[in-house]
Amino acid sequence: MDTQSLVDQAKRGDGNAFWELIEGKKASLYRMAFWYSKNETDAMDIVSEAVYKAYVSLPQLKNHEFFYTWLTRILIHCAYDFIKINKTVPHLASKMMNEMKSTPEDSRSEAILDLYNAIDTLDEQHRSVVILKYLEDMTVAQVAEVLKMPAGTVKTYLHRALLHLRIKLEEV
């Protein structure tokens, strides 16, 4: 069944249709929430909160074809709210170092950890643009739509974020 039909059914109170919409994106939602929270449990809490808010706000959705964009935006806002409430977000690199037994010859793992740590140093807007573009594999137009900003602004944020990441990674 297509997204528009499922959204129509969900708006009329069909919980199964809403669940089917969420089921198709749950891995992506979790992955995105994890990038913000750096913790499995917190990521699940963020996803749960976002799904609840989406379900409650579903009647307000005007364009059915933008359901996933709208849901992603809700998830990002929930993640920001979570970060603001908790004030501390552990760096992913240090968490992964504790969980992984990295050997000196495993330079790929170290490079990935350095990249994650560098992404953590970005501010909210730049981090969101990088996560959506490179980790969620969205186009610039899709990122602009999710973040409600012009495509040119997204490109500028990407450019600045990549410059920042290059500098951070050169320091390492």
Q: Where are the domains of the chain?
A: 1-90
The neighbour count for residue 51, using CB atoms within 10 Å, is: 21
Query: Is the entire prediction scored with pTM above 0.85?
Result: no
Distance in angstroms (rounded) separating the CA atoms of residues 160 and 68: 27
Q: How many CA atoms lie within 13 A of 98 on its CB side?
A: 5
CATH architecture observed for domain 1-90: Orthogonal Bundle (1.10)
Quote the distance between the C-alpha of residue 82 and its chain's center.
13
- Helix H or strand E encompassing 11: helix 3-11
Specify the pLDDT at position 13: 86
Q: How far apart are CA 83 and CA 52, in angstroms?
A: 18
pLDDT along the chain (172 residues), means of 10: 84 89 90 87 94 92 88 92 72 47 56 80 90 89 92 95 90 73
The pLDDT of residue 118 is 86
Task: Name every residue whose Cβ is closer than 8 Å to that of residue 21 and which is 6 or more positions away in sequence.
Answer: 3, 6, 7, 10, 67
**How many other β-carbons are positioned within 10 Å of the β-carbon of residue 40?**
11
